[in-house]
């Protein structure tokens, strides 16, 4: 029983491969955020397009902790890329633990895959938290980097009340992305022998 719970070399390889795929897709989509209006659309886009690589990853998950490590890696990468904010790392850890629990607890169910992915996706909210928690400092930095016009436009698209809609949008679009991923998993990837 202990052997089943211990992560092995192949588990870490699986985490590395699929987390790299997921994060690369997330990074490409997040580049759209340089246009202020796309900041509002990022939860929708990330939730949908991240579903396929993450569901493929879940099909390979065999032990508790794999999803948590993936969340920590994503959060750490975004923290290092985004500057001094530790919020993505913290949200990656928390969402990874919860997603891990959901998936392992209800394993081999398509519903558990979709729910696990939707919860995992909430780690991306950590990227938005500085906007709400340290608003003045955040927009001072944005003004210094991109100019007053960009900062004012971005601020108008993300007023203080938008945190809850961002969380809900991320969760519900991730449910859709997870459902798309599970359908492709059953229809194409299993038939092709990829999982």
Q: How confident is the model at residue 36 (pLDDT cuts 50, 70, 90)?
A: confident
193 is a domain residue: no
194 is a domain residue: no
**Total domain count for the chain?**
1
pLDDT at 108: 65
136 is a domain residue: yes
14 is a domain residue: yes
Do residues 67 and 99 touch, judged by C-beta distance below 8 A? Answer: yes
Cα 39 from Cα 17, distance rounded (Å):
27
Selection from 27, 171, 9 nearest residue 95 by Cα:
171
Cα 98 from Cα 193, distance rounded (Å):
29
Query: Domain range holding 165?
Result: 2-188
pLDDT at 161: 93
Selection from 135, 121, 133, 136 nearest residue 179 by Cα:
121
21 is a domain residue: yes
Do residues 178 and 55 touch, judged by C-beta distance below 8 A? Answer: yes
79 is a domain residue: yes
The model's pLDDT over 63-116, given as tens digits with 9 standing for 90+, comes to 889 999 999 999 999 888 876 589 999 999 999 999 999 998 887 678 899 999
The neighbour count for residue 122, using CB atoms within 10 Å, is: 22
61 is a domain residue: yes
The neighbour count for residue 140, using CB atoms within 10 Å, is: 12
70 is a domain residue: yes
């Amino acid at each position: 029983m202990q052997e089943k719970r211990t992560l092995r070399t192949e588990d870490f390889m699986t985490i590395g491969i699929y987390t790299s795929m997921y994060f690369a897709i997330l990074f490409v989509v997040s580049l759209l955020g340089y246009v202020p209006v796309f900041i509002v659309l990022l939860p929708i886009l990330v939730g949908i397009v991240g579903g396929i690589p993450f569901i493929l990853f879940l099909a390979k998950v065999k032990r508790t902790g794999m999803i948590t490590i993936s969340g920590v890696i994503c959060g750490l990468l975004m923290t290092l890329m985004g500057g001094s904010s530790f919020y993505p790392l913290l949200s990656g850890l928390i969402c990874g633990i919860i997603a891990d629990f959901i998936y392992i607890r209800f394993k081999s169910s398509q519903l558990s895959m979709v729910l696990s992915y939707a919860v995992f996706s909430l780690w991306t909210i950590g990227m938005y938290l500085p906007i709400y928690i340290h608003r003045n400092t955040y927009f001072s930095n944005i003004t210094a980097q991109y100019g007053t016009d960009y900062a004012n436009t971005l601020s108008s698209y993300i007023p203080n009340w938008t945190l809850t809609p961002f969380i809900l949008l991320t969760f519900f679009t991730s449910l859709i992305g997870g459902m798309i991923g599970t359908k492709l998993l059953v229809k194409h990837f299993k038939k092709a022998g990829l999982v």
